[in-house]
Amino acid sequence: MFEFDVESFDFRKYSNRQLICIPLTLMLLSVLILSGWYFFTGSPVNPGIEFTGGAELLLISDNGIEPIRTTFGSSSHSIRSIVTRENAYIVNFQTSLINPEQLESMAIDSGFEVLSVQSTSPSFGAETQRLALIGLVAAFVGMATVVFILFRKIVPSVAVVLSALGDILVPLAIMNLLGIQLSLGTLAALLMLIGYSVDSDILLTNHILKRKGNFYDSLYRAMKTGLTMTLTSFSAIMVMTITAFLFGVDLLTSIGIVLIFGLIVDILNTYLLNVSLLRWYVGEKQ
Amino acid sequence: MNIRQFWRVIVLILLLVLSVVLIVPSGPPQITSSDSSLDLNYGLDLSGGTRLRAPLLGYTAEQVDFTYRNEVEIEENLVDYFGFLSRSDVDATLGQGGLGTIEIFSDISEEDFKLALDHLNLNHNDIIQGVTSQTRQTTIEVLNKKFDESGLSGATVQQSITTTGQYFIVIEVPNYNGSQVRKLVEKRGSVEVIANFPDATGENKNIVVLTQSDIATVGTVQEPGISISSYHVPVTLTESGAIKFQKTLHSNGFTSSNGVNSCTSSLPPEMRHCINTVLDGDIVYSASLSSGLAQTIIAGDLASSKNFVMTSVNQSGAELLRLHLRAGALPAPLDLDSGTIDFVSPSLADNFKLYSLLIGILSIFAVAAVVFLRYGKIKVALPMVVTALSEVVILLGFSSAIGLALDLSHIAGFIAVIGTGVDDLIIIADEVMSGGDISSKRIFQNRFKTAFWIIGAAALTTIAALSPLAILSLGDLRGFAIITILGVLLGVLITRPAYGDILRFLLNLK
């Protein structure tokens, strides 16, 4: 049995400004990275083929990468091998000038075993992109509305929403830096983060606003529970990510990586950003 | 112990039993293969196969004033106006009150369509991209027939609509790859027999002598024989079709000595009399009228025998011809370049299925390890793990009951449910056990109420965040959102409160 020794981090020693500057700097950096990406690539993230249109083939080539290069030549955008599956390669086609079934038959004719084909036309991709944006904004607005209705107080609600915003922005920037594309899978991960992050934020806000007694007692109690929650989610997702990576289940791996970063960032956002906003709010009133 | 106090636990157990009954297949246990071990439906990722999504190509003019016009006349006028369209590319349908719709199933522009209608003095409302619901329905029926005829079993054809009102046809075929599926649906499959011959002035002429509606029954593909030297499909014509065929060929010189057996490269093109089998505008086979059939036509006997053969260059061509003849032509072509095609090989899908199970089990072990280490009390931790697991089992049972096809995205949803589920149980446990022993029922109730407020609030926000995705047609995300929302609802209404009851019971034992 272990307990989180949360009291060892003495919040009293630090001013609100000091606490808030770490998560805010991270968020600001992320916004800079995302806007830089937008400036240089025309898109704030690296959109996957589900959004841009294109094709992706997963195939087995017994003689390594060279035959794949000769077959598809310059029409392929990237070829990468899969660590855990012998002789397996993912061939990516960003432009869909060649239709997917032609790619498939080219691969079969060259003696590759085709394990999967995924292809999206540019027009369908554009529609998906539009829908995904609507979905993400609607999800965020929906979450924010519920938070405001639940707490009916501006500052605590803004604190929760702001920390959820950080939980999405920072992992998005990290995805750019690690070269992880935004796909429907990673979008799902970002939305899962809204769910996970709001859990601990609501717990914290509830403990501090609805309890009598010392601010710090409530805070540490909420932290103990909250960190246990984050640790269990974290360990489950860590295990999922590692096994999915070893088995080569791409979708679950990329969901996992985004969640891992999101949960780490969430700890900062909840216990530095959200806490200091609440302390400021409560202090003002007392 | 009062049963009424533990009604949630009882409901939980009932749901669990029901789910297990639904998931575990009835009848004797099958040890043969791993994939028959559970009674669940699997989607593309986990079963293998092809999913193809495409809109139907076409434009529709609505509320067209048909006064003093009839459908056939309008169709012919439009075909003449555009020049490159065939009759099957245009469909005029008279509705109520003298108003009707005109559809053009081709890649023309809305502007050209408008100009054509203006040119023909047809008053109309808006021209919209897409086809009528009737056309969509017929297309789906024909597609289903094509899959039935081709032996690609288990195919499903559905339509879906985007938020902008665009309709997509969604075809899922287990076990077959993209090119096999695409071959069946990339063409409309409209089969015509066209007579090609020099007319009296020597000018080359084409006349459609048979369309699909002139064919009554279709036989099976025959190998080349003595009388017919290529793969062929015997058909019987309708009476009107046979008479039309007989009359057209006879009056255009096919049965004369110049016509019989004249479709050969040894004659100059302007002398040839050919009977062309045309698939979607492309000639797939050219043949002469044999002297035997010429005799039958001269004697006027074709109208009673009605036998005819459709020929093709090879066996696969003949099979395709037979398929299109039997299933009929698609009213509108699928615009395959504006959709998506996904294929997962059955072997990869089998791997995914096994891996998903392993990933799920390992994740649960990780969760269990953390809660055991954190609480140290079996009484608190074990029911926590069991409750979280039961949420997944009940969700699986529910998916089985509604026939939801499980995909990788749903697996992600299940893991999300385990994650938020255990989070909530931790809140309950910490809240209930905070501040020493639970001396009275009232204290327990109060603490549980606080915990439940937090859980309910978190659940509401998660549902609010995910419900747009459950509605939008965003492929994989939809399944994930639906499973997560269902899981959260199930958790808040039944399983998580039930955990509270179990915990109270176990802690009171002291």
Residue B1 has a pLDDT of 53
For residues A69 and A21, the model is more confident at: A21
Q: How far apart are CA A155 and CA A166, in angstroms?
A: 16
Q: Residue B280 contacts by C-beta under 8 Å, 6 or more apart in sequence?
A: B187, B188, B189, B190
User: Which one of A220, A230, A232 would you mutate to disrupt binding with B, by most B Cβ within 10 Å of its Cβ?
Assistant: A232
Has residue A144 got a pLDDT over 70? yes
Q: Are strands B405-406 and B41-42 parallel, antiparallel or unpaired?
A: parallel
Interface residue B369 vs chain A (CB under 8 A)? yes
The CA–CA distances, whole Å, from B161 to A209, B127, B169, B235 equal 45, 19, 9, 39
CA distance B96 to chain A (A): 35
Tokens of residue A72, six digits: 């598809």
Q: How far apart are CA B473 and CA A65, in angstroms?
A: 37
Domain range annotation of chain B: 3-48+345-508, 50-137+148-173+333-338, 191-327
ipTM of the complex: 0.86
List own/partner pairs for B143-151 with CB under 8 A and 24 or more apart. B143/B169, B143/B171, B143/B185, B143/B330, B145/B326, B145/B327, B145/B328, B146/B184, B146/B185, B146/B189, B146/B323, B146/B324, B146/B327, B147/B173, B147/B184, B148/B327, B149/B322, B149/B323, B149/B326, B149/B327, B150/B184, B150/B323
Has residue B29 got a pLDDT over 60? no
Interface residue B182 vs chain A (CB under 8 A)? yes
Average pLDDT for chain A: 86
Interface residue A98 vs chain B (CB under 8 A)? no
Interface residue B471 vs chain A (CB under 8 A)? no
Give the helix/strand (H/E) hosting A158.
Answer: helix A154-178
Residue A97 has a pLDDT of 59
B101 close to B95: Cβ distance less than 8 angstroms: yes
Fold classified for A6-47+124-285: Multidrug efflux transporter AcrB transmembrane fold (1.20.1640)
- Please compute, for residue B91, the number of CA atoms within 13 A of its CA located in the half-sphere on the CB side: 17
Query: Is the CATH number of domain B191-327 3.30.1360?
Result: yes
Is residue B33 very low, low, confident or very high in pLDDT (cuts 50, 70, 90)? very low
**Looking at residues B35-42, what average pLDDT do you find?**
70
Residue A262 has a pLDDT of 94
Residue B34 has a pLDDT of 44
Measure CB to CB from residue A255 to each of B182, B412, B461 and give the nearest one: B412
Residue A285 has a pLDDT of 47
Domain range annotation of chain A: 6-47+124-285, 54-120
Residue B334 is given by DSSP the state B
Residue B37 has a pLDDT of 65
Top-ranked range on mean pLDDT: pick from A72-81, A110-119, A218-227, B146-155:
A218-227
Q: What is the pLDDT of residues B200-213, one digit of tens each?
A: 787 888 888 888 88
A264 close to A241: Cβ distance less than 8 angstroms: no
Interface residue B361 vs chain A (CB under 8 A)? no
Interface residue B362 vs chain A (CB under 8 A)? yes
**Looking at residues B292-319, what average pLDDT do you find?**
84
Q: How far apart are CA A230 and CA A260, in angstroms?
A: 10
Residue B268 has a pLDDT of 84
Is residue A98 very low, low, confident or very high in pLDDT (cuts 50, 70, 90)? low
CATH code, B3-48+345-508: 1.20.1640.10
* Region for B130 from its dihedrals, namely left if φ exceeds 0, alpha if ψ lies in -120 to 50, beta otherwise: left
Q: How far apart are CA A205 and CA B269, in angstroms?
A: 88
Is residue A261 very low, low, confident or very high in pLDDT (cuts 50, 70, 90)? very high
pTM for this entry: 0.79
- Please compute, for residue A138, the number of CA atoms within 13 A of its CA located in the half-sphere on the CB side: 15
Q: Do B466 and A195 touch (CB under 8 A)?
A: yes
Q: What is the pLDDT of residues A157-215, one digit of tens each?
A: 999 999 999 999 999 999 999 888 888 888 888 888 888 888 889 999 999 988 777 88
B465 close to A143: Cβ distance less than 8 angstroms: yes
pLDDT-wise least confident of A7-21, A81-95, A196-210, B246-260? A81-95
**Looking at residues A118-125, what average pLDDT do you find?**
83
**Looking at residues B55-75, what average pLDDT do you find?**
86
Residue A258 has a pLDDT of 93
Query: Is the CATH number of domain A54-120 3.40.50.2020?
Result: no
Chain A environment of B355 (Cβ under 8 Å):
243-244, 247, 249
pLDDT-wise least confident of A234-238, B229-233, B364-368, B391-395? B229-233
Q: What is the pLDDT of residues B414-472, one digit of tens each?
A: 887 888 888 899 999 888 887 666 667 777 788 888 889 999 999 999 899 888 888 88
Q: How far apart are CA B53 and CA B178, in angstroms?
A: 12
- Beta strands of B85-136 (E only): which ranges? 90-94, 99-104, 127-129
Q: How far apart are CA A27 and CA A162, in angstroms?
A: 10
Q: Residue A145 contacts by C-beta under 8 Å, 6 or more apart in sequence?
A: B464
